[in-house]
A and B are shown apart, each in its own frame.
Chain A
Amino acid sequence: MSTLTTTRTDDRSADGRRARRTAEAAGVGWKLLLLKIIVLGLLNAASVYAAMVLFFNERWLIGTLVVVSGAFLTWIYFQRGALPAKYLAPGVVFLLIFQVFVILYSGYVAFTNYGTGHNSTKDHAIHAIMLQTQDRVPDSPTYQLTVVERSGELGFAVTTEAGEVLLGSAETPLDDVRGAVVEDDRVVQVPDHEVLSFAELVDRQQELTTLAVPLSDDPNAGALRTQDGQRAYVYTSRFVYDEAADTLTNTQSGETYTDGGEGAFVTAAGDQLMPGWRVNVGLDNFVRAITEESIRGPLLYVTAWTFAFAFLSVATTFILGLFLAIVFNDPRMKSRKYYRLIMILPYAFPGFLSALVWAGMMNQEFGFINNVLFGGASIPWLSDPWLAKLSILIVNLWLGFPYMFLVCTGALQSIPEELTEAAQMDGARPFQAFRQIKFPLLLVSIAPLLISSFAFNFNNFNLVYMLTGGGPRDIEAGINVGSTDILISMVYKVAFVGSQSDYGLASAFSILIFFIVGTISVIAFRRTRALEELN
């Protein structure tokens, strides 16, 4: 690690010097100017193209942002001076896209009802409801369809099983037509009308698929519609949308659904019509997380376990890591290098893989631990609520101690031996010397790492997901939360497991987690400052 950093530092200063030189030469170097023009030209061409595509798709905001940021970047690089901006601009762009935007977006989602059933806009919801409630009239025949056109208006020419030829359009109900030519049960020619080819159909498919030709003057008889342009069927619409009143009316029951303000059409009695749409719900998700009994109960339990898990994980790994570091730091220990190498192995394996292997080893009946280490005992490592918690901690200890071992070794080696010697001269016993001299010095450099390790374990999703999946579940609780679920795995379940996703609630939880971890880190960092004053 240390050699790597040195090379990087050297590179940096070398690059810095080179950059400064080129910057100075930029005023006269026409080659550089040309390069600059080409690169920025490409950038601007790309952003203008992207903006055009976006504007055509009516994405005004993003399109404008693309243009503005393209222009801004160009301005930066044609500035004289402004060297820091030139270096930082590309990084800042990526930072904005991949970090800031993502954070703001999940923050925004926490204030919406985004989730299953509230997935899109109101227009999309109405469109989908209308599509899903076109009921084909039972036992109605299939009409062989020819699409015709007269003065820009589309019409349907169909043949019936009885051999009649009927013609109609959106305005005029189906009626007999004279003089039409029929081949193989399909109309091929209609007087005064032009028959559309398949290619023409495809060009006008949106118009075609929304076209409904009434069967007769009675609207309840239904209307002919087509999906593929070749066959038409009789449908009745279960719902009618009244744009002016913004209501949906069920044509069969006569019930009226209005926009209830919560992202769905509801009847007066409170029956919801799905799909709904995404709306802003303010603090509802946070209020639900705290007040709704079915969520609050598990939330408290899970929060307590998350704290216990994170704290115990850090404590156990630190104690074991420190102990081993001290042991292997002793010069009397032979072949320390090889032992150290072996120690680091658990750290070198991918964590999720180790968790899976451990899950296999902890199988109650066939696992290595029960079969070999406990001589065929049947210990329910992963299916007893308390043993599962213990198992998680054991596996995390195995995964986490090499890291602590590494950092403690490093920190111990940086503490001058003279201090210990001096303490011993003053008559301190070895443990006393360690506890009162070395340990506080060690904490100065290790404490921030312990805090970050706490934050990491607080959100240690991989381990929980791969080892126990959060289980075993308490079947007495009415919600799918297991006894080893930590907050982040619970959030995952709320958002993605099963088929009722609730992204809004999950985002609200994430924000709560962020505040918890943030608060703890700030407090802890404040306290470690006291340690630094020891220096």
Chain B
Amino acid sequence: MTVNTGRFTTMTALLGLGALALTSCGSGGDSPDAEAADPAETETTEAETTESEAEETEDGDSESGEAAASGSLTIWADANRAEVLADVAEDFESDTGISVEIVQQDFEEIRDQFVSQVPTGEGPDIAVGAHDWLGVLVNNGVVAPVELGDTAGDFEEIAVDAWTYEGQTYGLPYSIENIALLRNTELAPEAPADFDAMIQMGEEAGTEYPFLVGLTPNESDPYHLYPFQTSFGAPVFGTDEDGSYDSSQLTMADAGGEEFAGWLAEQGEAGVLNLNIDGDLAQESFNGGNSPFFLTGPWNVTGAQEAGIDVAVDPIPAAGDQDAQPFAGVQGFFLSSQSENVVAASNFLINYVGTAEVQTALYETGGRAPALTESFDQALSEDEIVAGFGEVGAEAVPMPAIPEMGAVWDDWGSSQAAIIKGDGDPVELWQKMSQDITSAID
């Protein structure tokens, strides 16, 4: 028992010491209460900062002049967007008198933070996000539709389609992101006509790899391989008459999908698709001039250019007999269903963020093709790289947003990995995957 008693005294001593440090620190008294202000948020420290900032805005709005409107908007945005929005917010403030508080958040964090904060009343009025979050946001009842009205026609069709979920438009889009084929113009002077032509050109170039795409050993990468899948006429879901996905029709389970599975197995065996080359390795190899082709998104272009590669962006070559359509991700701004400032927020979105000036500014910091057609055309005419991605993007299909996609990605990826590795009959594995996905969706 000696050991235990000893430890107990040490513990008490440490506790006492801590307590002493706190009492002597003077301000120690008020901080527990500041924290106690909302114990519901103690799970994450980040949430607390946001919340206290949000509270500050609410308190600070009483100063506005009489002629100007009172009220305030809180916006969650990631670092890049926050920068651009700060300028827009200033204009908005001086025009309307409504103060705008921009809270910087990590892009990846916004979805879950939004879902957990909106019900507590501490969420923002507007947040930045990706359209494929919609399923989760709508099912949790935290977003409100945004009526774009006649301005909807001013945006690229895919951008508005992507932000439409079950017939309602939930966001004001600002950029479109998709993958395309990067080509090292020194190694391959011309764009390939189809997949086989590309591999042939790659082999003729005499580099280590004929073609690169970043995969992972156990999960493959259905997102990057999707254009090849669509070229076999096997889109993941069928669509209703209004063009939105119908998750009850798993069209990739059809014959086209099985054909694609066979193709995957062939390419895996030939070593063209290599699960051990992940995104980083693929990028490194392409930047090192070890392959003429790299299937990737705009995020890897700067790195390649810095490595001295002369890059061209080409359409994705089809492996089957149909067009290769990648997934598009559309970023946009959405409204909270608990917002008490809907009039101010929708004015801010439609009349400020939806303008060509702001869309172009967002494009210039983000580097993704803008969603507003006017800015889109302008960006495409100015920059070859953006034009390359933009042209592929115009043919792209929105990534499905249904909440069950989480389960779909899991099954899809691990089955693709198994097929590429050659673990069994490709068609059987594909059918097993289709069954699992169907049961996960129901």
Contacts and interface: CB of A to CB of B under 8 A. Distances in A.
A255 interface: no
A89 B70 contact: no
A128 B166 CA distance: 14
Interface residues of A, number: 98
Nearest to B16: A87
Interface stretch (B25-33, B199-207, B357-365, B367-375): B25-33
B33 A66 contact: yes
Contacts of B219: 471, 473
Given A12-B13, A116-B139, A499 B342 contact: no
Interface string A1-40: 0000000110110011001000000000000000000011
Interface string B194-237: 00000000000000000000000111000000000000000000
Contacts of A15: 17, 20
Interface stretch (A94-102, A183-191, A310-318): A94-102
A339 interface: no
Interface string B1-41: 11100000000011111111011001111101111111110
B71 interface: yes
Interface in A99-125: 101-102, 105, 116-117, 119-121, 124-125
A132 B141 contact: yes
A311 to B, nearest CB: 24
Given A202-B96, A205-B343, A363 B34 contact: no
Contacts of A131: 144-145, 337
A314 to B, nearest CB: 20
Nearest to A474: B414
A46 B218 contact: no
B276 interface: yes
Nearest to B119: A120
Contact of B22 (A9, A91, A102, A380): A91
B403 interface: yes
Query: In terms of DSSP, what is the predominant structure of the interface of chain B?
Result: helix
A382 interface: yes
Interface stretch (B248-256, B299-307, B387-395, B429-437): B429-437
Contacts of B71: 202-203, 205
A230 B347 contact: yes
A479 to B, nearest CB: 9
Interface stretch (A50-58, A341-349, A393-401): A50-58
B338 interface: yes
A365 interface: yes
A228 B343 contact: yes
Given A50-B37, A227-B342, A90 B28 contact: yes
A487 B340 CA distance: 42
Interface string B28-57: 111011111111101100000000000100
Interface in A436-462: 445, 448
Given A202-B69, A202-B98, A88 B16 contact: yes
**Range class of the B interface residue count:** 35 or more
Contact of A62 (B29, B38, B115): B38
Interface stretch (A134-142, A169-177, A329-337, A516-524): A134-142
A46 B36 contact: no
A11 B17 contact: yes
A373 to B, nearest CB: 17
A222 interface: no
Contacts of B133: 499
Contacts of A91: 15, 18-19, 22
B355 interface: no
Nearest to A278: B119
A251 interface: no
A201 interface: yes
A313 B172 CA distance: 52
B38 A198 contact: no
Contacts of B417: 383
A47 B33 contact: yes
B406 interface: yes
A510 interface: no
B141 A125 contact: yes
A66 B37 contact: yes
B252 to A, nearest CB: 16
Interface stretch (B146-154, B155-163, B289-297): B146-154
A59 to B, nearest CB: 8
Interface string B68-82: 111100000000000
Contacts of B69: 198-203
Given A91-B19, A116-B140, A230-B347, A475 B276 contact: no
Contacts of A266: none
A16 B217 CA distance: 60
B141 A120 contact: yes
29 contacts: A42-B27, A43-B29, A54-B37, A54-B38, A62-B40, A69-B33, A93-B32, A97-B36, A102-B42, A116-B140, A119-B115, A119-B141, A131-B144, A132-B144, A199-B97, A203-B69, A208-B343, A209-B342, A228-B147, A233-B147, A233-B149, A363-B276, A382-B217, A476-B432, A482-B218, A499-B135, A499-B136, A532-B2, A532-B3
Given A480-B410, A498-B407, 9 more contacts: A90-B28, A105-B40, A117-B139, A120-B142, A127-B338, A205-B71, A445-B3, A499-B406, A500-B406
Closest 8 CB pairs of A and B: A498-B406, A128-B141, A275-B141, A120-B119, A43-B29, A46-B30, A199-B69, A202-B69
Interface of A: 8-9, 11-12, 15-16, 19, 39-40, 42-43, 45-47, 50, 53-54, 57, 59, 62, 65-66, 69-70, 73, 86-91, 93-94, 97-98, 101-102, 105, 116-117, 119-121, 124-125, 127-129, 131-132, 134-136, 142, 198-203, 205-206, 208-209, 227-231, 233, 274-275, 363-366, 380, 382-383, 445, 448, 468-469, 471-473, 475-476, 478, 480, 482, 496-500, 532, 535
